[in-house]
Amino acid sequence: MKVREVAETIGISKECVGYILHEELDMKKLCTRWMLRLLTADQKRTHMKISEQCLQHFNKNKTDFVRRFITMDETWIHHYTPESIQQSKRWTDAGCSVSKKTRSVPSAGKVMALLFWDAEGILFIDYIEKGKTLTREYYSNLLTRLDEKIREKKPGLQKKKIIFHQDNVPAHKSVLAMGKLRDLHYELLEHPPYSPDLAPSDFCLFPKLKLFLAGQRFSFLNQEAIAAVEGYFADLMKNHTTGTR
């Protein structure tokens, strides 16, 4: 109920209702937190169980875990991504009226980026054009490419067992992909369903990338969007190497 509705129902002023709610009853109004899906009790238990297993695995040898941990995820790169509300804010003089801006949506033109990365940076990125799907055969070949990149960029891991993380996309969980991971002798971390908070890419990689891309407009050629993504991660790696932020 709104404060106005409460005031009209019991016949007192809105100010009195606000005082009673905040000062006498010590209540506050909270916004609902939007979730991708409300988990069932069984899904919550699975989520907790896998989270505890990952934490135990990490605590055994934190340095070794971080060295061997590799994750992957995919995201859409739009030819145009609107600025966020925070990015649209501008410093103005006192008394200036609020500027107006029409609501815009991401462009229909887009390309999917599949990123494989670890704690030290991006191992490689693959791109799939709009209209094409990530098949089990295609993903299995990407895992082969990943192993080649590890041997090329991480020679110290050749004798180590890779700890690999992925989500539950059908192509990732296909028999062909699972067989490839067994052939590569990778240790696969479980990922509970509907759990973006346990996906490192959704937590710390993609939000900053989307913030960088927001407001930029590329032509309807995927090459410009891809070049922007590659440039962003190249600068990120350079700053990581030099120790700057």
| Helix spans in the chain (H) | 3-10, 14-19, 41-60, 62-68, 85-88, 136-153, 170-173, 175-183, 200, 206-213, 222-242
What confidence category does residue 136 fall into, taking pLDDT thresholds of 50, 70 and 90?
A: very high
- From edge to edge, which strands make up the β-sheet containing 121-129? 121-129, 110-118, 69-78, 163-165, 187-188
- Is the model more confident about 30 or about 43? 43
Q: Point out the least confidently predicted range of 69-73, 131-135, 192-196, 212-216.
A: 192-196
> Residue 176's closest CA among 206, 139, 211?
139
DSSP 157: G
> What b-and-e string marks burial along 15-39, b requiring 16 or more CB atoms within 10 Å of the CB?
eebeeeeeeeeeeeeeeeeeeeeeb
The answer, yes or no, to whether residue 162 has pLDDT greater than 80, is yes
Q: Each residue of 9-29: pLDDT tens digit?
A: 999 999 999 999 999 999 887
pTM as predicted: 0.75
The answer, yes or no, to whether residue 88 has pLDDT greater than 90, is no
Per-residue 3-state assignment (H helix, E strand, C coil) for 224-238 = HHHHHHHHHHHHHHH
- Is the model more confident about 227 or about 196? 227
pLDDT of res. 108: 81
Place of tokens 């240790």: 187
Q: Please give the domain boundaries of the chain with CATH numbers for all domains.
A: 1-27 (no CATH), 41-86+105-242 (3.30.420.10)
The answer, yes or no, to whether residue 245 has pLDDT greater than 60, is no
Mean pLDDT value across the chain: 87
